[in-house]
Structure 1
Amino acid sequence: MANLRTHHIGLTVTELDRAVEFYCNVLDLTVLDQFTVSGTSFSTAVDVEGATGRFVHLGTGGARIELIEYEPAGEKRTESTINEPGAKHLGLEVDDIDTFFETLPRDVETLSKPQTTESGSRILFFRDPDGNLIELIET
């Protein structure tokens, strides 16, 4: 059996620079690496003819988040709800969810204010500029 380890969590975005600004300014992540990949092998691997991917890797302290802007871009999907099969979200832990919520820019779409679940965890869901769901959790 393979010895699997998490390398990164990938999110496809429409405008890489805008997404990097959001993740760095709102979530205080740091840019670890940035690069472009293209060519026949890449196109074959991602099953997109003539694909080029612009990548930025961001550090969270515990995981690497990979933002990717593809050319050609695919069709924009409608925003999903969290209970929809195939829905995804990025989960990040925070020490003080209420302070984070208070400093969240007003133009960031949240699903609700921070909530305390039956397990005692505090959670907050919001969307990045492309509609990707992000969950903050305080345990």
Structure 2
Amino acid sequence: MTLLGVHHLGLTVADVERSARWYCAVLDFFRVGEFGGPDDPRRKVFLNHPGFRLRLGLVEHRGGAGDRFDETRTGLDHLAFSVPDGDHLDRWAARIAEHGVEFSPAVPANTVPGASVIVLRDPDGIQLELFADPERSRRR
């Protein structure tokens, strides 16, 4: 049996339009589609990013609890996006700061020697990382 990789990733959000605007403005994603109308129990916005191999789906479940994300509950802990190197990480830090988003400064990633990471949260509190792993970049 063969798995070829991850096709897409879906994140549950409280307000799909708010989240789509945030991902587009802050992280430079762009919309590639949507599903569901105002009366549907579920609305989706599909995003992509230049150089990103998988699609990111934002899903709003009408009538959902609307709770903020909590990585201590069973399910998703965080989502890490790969960046080429520390210089790119610094440029991302500047862009994130321009949008007034709180984030951690770039620090060494304690799980991967030589790697650095920035941690931030989206409008629903979903923990995101921008991860520069020089070893992985060399393997591409």
Does the Cα contact within 8 Å between 2:47 and 2:56 map onto a contact in 1? yes
1:77-107 CA-partner distances (Å, limit 9, x unpaired):
45336xx764421111123101110221363
TM-score by length of 2: 0.75
Matched residue, 1:48: none
Instruction: Summarize the Cα distance change of 1:52–1:29 in structure 2 as closer, same or farther, 3 Å threshold.
Output: same
* Partner residue of 1:89 out of 47, 70, 78: 78
Letter in 1 for 2:61: Y
Separation in 1, partners of 2:30, 2:62:
24
Matched residue, 2:102: 109
Identity across matched positions, percent: 32
Matched residue, 2:46: 57
Q: Which has the higher helix share?
A: 2
Q: Where do 5+ consecutive residues of structure 2 fail to align?
A: 134-140
SS at match of 1:26: helix
Separation in 1, partners of 2:77, 2:122:
13
Matched residue, 1:134: 128
Instruction: Summarize the Cα distance change of 1:94–1:4 in structure 2 as closer, same or farther, 3 Å threshold.
Output: closer
SS at match of 2:105: coil
Does the Cα contact within 8 Å between 2:42 and 2:61 map onto a contact in 1? yes
> Alignment RMSD, CA only?
2.3
Instruction: Summarize the Cα distance change of 1:32–1:107 in structure 2 as closer, same or farther, 3 Å threshold.
Output: same
TM-score by length of 1: 0.76
